[in-house]
Amino acid sequence: MTPVRAWLVRLGGLVGWGAGVVACAWLLGVAPMSHPWDGPLVWGGVAAGGVAVRVVALWALALVTRRERMPVPRVSLRKGGAALGRRRRRGDGRLPLSRLSDDFALSDSELWVKGRTAVVWLLVAFTSGAMFACLMSMSTSDRVERLRDAGAEVGTARVVGKPLRIRAELGDEDRAKGYASRLALAVDGGPERLLVKGAYTYDKPRAGTRVEVLWARSAPELGGYVNESKDLPTLAAGRWKAFPDDELGGAALTAFVLVAGVFGAVLASVFSLAPDADSLQERAWSVPAQTVRGLFVVGLYLAWRPILLGQEASVASYLFAGGGFVLILLVYAFTTGF
């Protein structure tokens, strides 16, 4: 009969991947929302917990199985018999940590093993693409959250006076793709002079130029937010929306399709078809390989946690979270045997 620990290994993996997919699906559209981002925070925690249970159960299964397979030493009255028994006890009957698959795998079918591996790699690519898309569409302005907390709305405004501190944002071939400036705006149906720092427009602003502005009627002292590359109505609503209708939303969608779709299909094909089924089965139950993956997943969640909460994160957390979409591919590649 299969031990309970073996079922905990399977259940931990299922819960970890299921919750991880839900968390990453949340990540695709949390950028317009206010912190904390409870969806990916909670589901990410469940995923990390499931992976931790899987690793602990796998270690317990390996150690208990090894102990059960240790042979009972034979008592010998001949001289040197005890020493011989000790040598046999050390050299025989030991179960390598990576061969649990011989006893506890559900099926040895090559189709099952390779199909399961392909699904795992598609999920890895989906996770990587979701993290990358979230990072690309994430707002870097705290002003948006302050305006949203004060009841932000989108209005049409006219530039009054001369724009200050105009700086061209250069794109390909050193051509200006937009302009950052400091503006004073007269909002239709609102204040006659609303200050906007760091306004971004595609055309060079002048007195009389009409722009859309995000502002709060209850707190005009907060100023406004102008960025023609952003979907301001979506930011004002603060609702979940995957791939907003703006410049970064389109780039995030393209990146997600390339990583999760195209790149994922390539990786799933390579890492499920190239290794033999026995090697893939062995790695699925390998204590060292699964421990490395588990520690990485838990560490990745801890790195993302302050970002999801809207708290100040350390440099190490930002680097780990920012590079997570690449690191997850590398970790799973290096822990997959050929």
Domains in the chain, CATH or no CATH each:
4-139+271-334 (no CATH), 147-229 (2.40.50)
Identify the pLDDT of residue 94. 43
- Give pLDDT tens digits for 324-335: 999 999 999 998
Q: Is the pLDDT of residue 7 over 60?
A: yes
Model pLDDT, residue 88: 39
- pLDDT mean across residues, the chain: 85
Query: 165 in helix, strand or coil?
Result: strand
Encoded amino acid at 151, one letter: G
Return the closest-CA partner of residue 132 out of 256, 248, 26: 256
**How does pLDDT run across 240-256, given as a tens digit for each residue?**
888 888 777 888 899 99
Reported as half-sphere exposure (CB side, CA atoms, 13 A), residue 133 has a value of 30
* % of the chain surpassing 90 pLDDT: 51
How many H-runs (helices) and E-runs (strands) does the chain carry?
Answer: 13, 5
Q: 3-state class of 73 per DSSP?
A: coil
Would you report the helix, strand and coil content of the chain in percent, each value rounded to 5?
60, 15, 30
Q: What is the pLDDT of residue 106?
A: 60
Phi, psi of 121 (to 5 degrees): -70, -35
Is the Cβ–Cβ distance between 55 and 290 less than 8 Å? yes
What band does 113 get if pLDDT is binned at 50, 70 and 90?
confident
Judge whether residue 338 has pLDDT over 50: no
**Cα distance between residue 13 and residue 23, in whole Å:** 15
Tell me the two tokens of residue 281.
């089965």
pLDDT band at 274 (very low <50, low <70, confident <90, very high): confident
Locate tokens 């997600």: which residue? Answer: 256
Judged against a pLDDT cut of 90, whether residue 318 lies above it is answered with: no
Give the C-alpha separation, 313 to 305, whole Å: 9
DSSP SS3 for 101 = helix
Length of the chain: 338
Mean pLDDT within 167-196: 90
Give the model's pLDDT for residue 327. Answer: 94
Pairwise pLDDT comparison (142 vs 215), residue with the higher score: 215
Structure tokens at 337: 């045997």
Distance CA 258, CA 255 (A): 5
Residues 53-112: tens digit of each pLDDT: 999 999 988 887 777 665 545 544 454 444 444 333 434 444 444 455 445 566 667 888
Residue 177 has pLDDT above 90, yes or no: no
**E strand or H helix at 156, and its extent?**
strand 152-159
- Asked whether residue 306 carries a pLDDT value surpassing 70, the answer given is yes
